[in-house]
Amino acid sequence: MSIERCAYCGKERPSEEMKSAKIIFRDRHPGGKAFVNSKVNRYCADGPCAGNDQMAHEG
Ligand SMILES: [Zn+2]
């Protein structure tokens, strides 16, 4: 059994209680050009963490 940390609330939980979710956010190239980036994080499967983190990344 492996333990994973939620990317939003920081709780450490067994991987069975976690899920993957893609977060889309605005990023900026080193030259200053803005673009839309995304990443896949691990979140609590039974909580609102994935949705909350997505909202936190929206302007
Ligand atoms: Zn969480």
Ramachandran angles phi, psi of 15, nearest 5°: -60, -25
What percent of the chain lies above the pLDDT cut of 90? Answer: 95
Mean model confidence pLDDT for the chain? 96
Q: Encoding tokens for residue 9?
A: 């609330």
**Alpha carbon of 33 to ligand 1 centroid (Å):** 32
SS3 10: coil
The tens digit of pLDDT for each residue in 3-27 reads 999 999 999 999 999 999 999 999 9
Greatest pairwise CA separation for the chain in angstroms: 43
Q: What is the pTM of this model?
A: 0.85
HSE-up of residue 40 (Cα within 13 Å, Cβ side): 4
Q: Tell how far the Cα of 24 is from the centroid of ligand 1, in angstroms.
A: 18
pLDDT at 38 over 80: yes
Amino acid letter at 30?
Answer: P
Ligand 1 center–CA 27 separation, angstroms: 23
Q: Measured in angstroms, how far is the CA atom of residue 26 from the centroid of ligand 1?
A: 22
- Taking the C-alpha atoms of residue 22 and residue 38, their distance in angstroms, rounded to an integer, is 7
